[in-house]
Amino acid sequence: MHQIQLTNAAFEGHNSVYLLGAEDAGTPTTLVDTGIATPAVAAELRDALADHGASFDAVDQVLLTHWHPDHAGLAGAIQTDGDATVYAHEADAPLIAHDGDALAAVESARLNCLDRWGMPAEKQRELEAVFERHAGLSGDPVDVTPLSDGDTVSLGDFDVEAVHLPGHAAGLVAYQFERDGRREAFVGDAILPKYTPNVGGADVRVDRPLAQYLASLERIEALDWDRAWPGHRGPIFAPSARARDIAAHHDERTERVRSVVTEQGPVSAWDVSAELFGSLSSIHILHGPGEAFAHLDHLVHEGELAETDDGYLLA
């Protein structure tokens, strides 16, 4: 297996994609995630594949962890060059395929969220300009083979099993496998070695985003992998511990959000975001209030807060 790091100036820094089977005759050449769809990143990926004796048209299958452009953007170009089979979870497959109804539904949901979160009009316009600049990052449409939780894909010498871990995205999956006596997984953005994946803004389709993400963290901890290969940066050598650390981080953030409501309520998600993250720019204009909303929503469902026309208050 070869880890390939690709430039990503749009979102979270370098992306990690993984190449398997390129040097083994009779084994399918497989990529896990693809990087963002820009000419520069496509050239980077082509050069990296060539270093290992592979190319776009030699890729037999692509395993996508979720629909975000920095993970799925080049899947269409790879499939066009060599007719690769592209796998993704059934919840994200329509977005990766560029289904018009699915894309329109996401856009409608996002606009509704911006108003619900109390985002000022000028910040909404700034965010819209970000999306216009990034319009091409999703690349070409893909013919997606959908997966469900528990489905397996053969990589030749071993199989990988899809593990559905919603929260950061509705259809985020890890691909777990056993190799050389170790239990490992490609985890995309389910857990990251340095940052905590955004919850609430990264995929506005997710209902009760924090609750779903905390359940996914519990599942990661229970699976007790020996190593995880994330979508950004290097490997995670204690995935269960990292999942616990991220859960603890969200516990602390929930307490902070409760304190903001206690001291300032009624407040909007945008107000809480300002207390948590300060001034925001670029895609973080979406991610900041989205994360604040995820915690506010969680406290509402726990019976500790109430959402009113004026904002969030103590219940």
Q: Give the number of other Cβ atoms within 10 Å of residue 169's Cβ.
A: 28
User: Domain tally for the chain?
Assistant: 1
**Angle of helix 284-301 versus helix 269-277 axis, rounded to 10:** 110
Q: What is the pLDDT of residue 23?
A: 79
| Parent domain of 44 | 2-255
- Order the strands of the 85-89 sheet from edge to edge: 2-6, 15-20, 30-32, 61-63, 85-89, 144-147
**In 180-191, which positions are buried (b, 16+ CB within 10 angstroms) versus exposed (e)?**
eeeebbbbbbbb
The answer to whether residues 21 and 28 touch, using CB atoms and an 8 Å cutoff, is yes
pTM, full prediction: 0.96
CATH of residue 146's domain is 3.60.15.10
* Phi (first) and psi of residue 267, to 5 degrees: -135, 155
Each residue's pLDDT tens digit, 139-182: 999 999 999 999 999 999 899 999 999 999 999 999 999 988 99
* Contacts of residue 161, Cβ cutoff 8 Å, sequence gap at least 6: 150, 151, 152, 175, 176, 177
Query: Quick check: is 217 in a domain?
Result: yes
Nearest partner of 55 among 69, 42, 39, judged by Cα: 42
Give strand pairing partners of 87. Answer: 63, 145
Task: Tally the C-alpha atoms within 13 A of residue 124's C-alpha that lie toward its C-beta.
Answer: 14
Mean pLDDT of 63-72: 97
Q: Output the average pLDDT for the chain.
A: 95
Read off the DSSP letter of residue 196.
P
* pLDDT band with cut points at 50, 70 and 90 for residue 25: confident
* pLDDT band with cut points at 50, 70 and 90 for residue 277: very high
Residue 111: both structure tokens together:
């606009």
- Containing 154, the helix (H) or strand (E) segment is strand 152-154
Mean pLDDT of 9-27: 81
Query: Quick check: is 271 in a domain?
Result: no
Task: Tally the C-alpha atoms within 13 A of residue 16's C-alpha that lie toward its C-beta.
Answer: 18
Helix (H, G, I), strand (E, B) or coil at 160: strand
Each residue's pLDDT tens digit, 39-57: 999 999 999 999 999 999 9
Distance CA 45, CA 78 (A): 10
* pLDDT band with cut points at 50, 70 and 90 for residue 10: low
Distance CA 213, CA 220 (A): 11
Query: Quick check: is 99 in a domain?
Result: yes
For strands 30-32 and 15-20, give the pairing. Answer: antiparallel
Distance CA 220, CA 185 (A): 10
Query: Quick check: is 305 in a domain?
Result: no
Query: Quick check: is 132 in a domain?
Result: yes
Nearest partner of 201 among 130, 265, 137, judged by Cα: 130
Read off the DSSP letter of residue 57.
G
Helix ranges (H only) for the chain are 39-51, 69-72, 75-82, 93-96, 100-116, 121-133, 209-223, 239-264, 269-277, 284-301
Respond yes or no on whether the N-terminal peptide bond of residue 239 is cis (omega within 30° of 0): no
Each residue's pLDDT tens digit, 209-247: 999 999 999 999 999 999 999 999 999 999 999 999 999
State which amino acid sits at residue 153.
V
Query: Quick check: is 158 in a domain?
Result: yes
Nearest partner of 211 among 284, 304, 301, judged by Cα: 301
Helix (H, G, I), strand (E, B) or coil at 143: coil
Query: Quick check: is 297 in a domain?
Result: no
Nearest partner of 45 among 2, 85, 86, 6, judged by Cα: 6
Query: Quick check: is 122 in a domain?
Result: yes
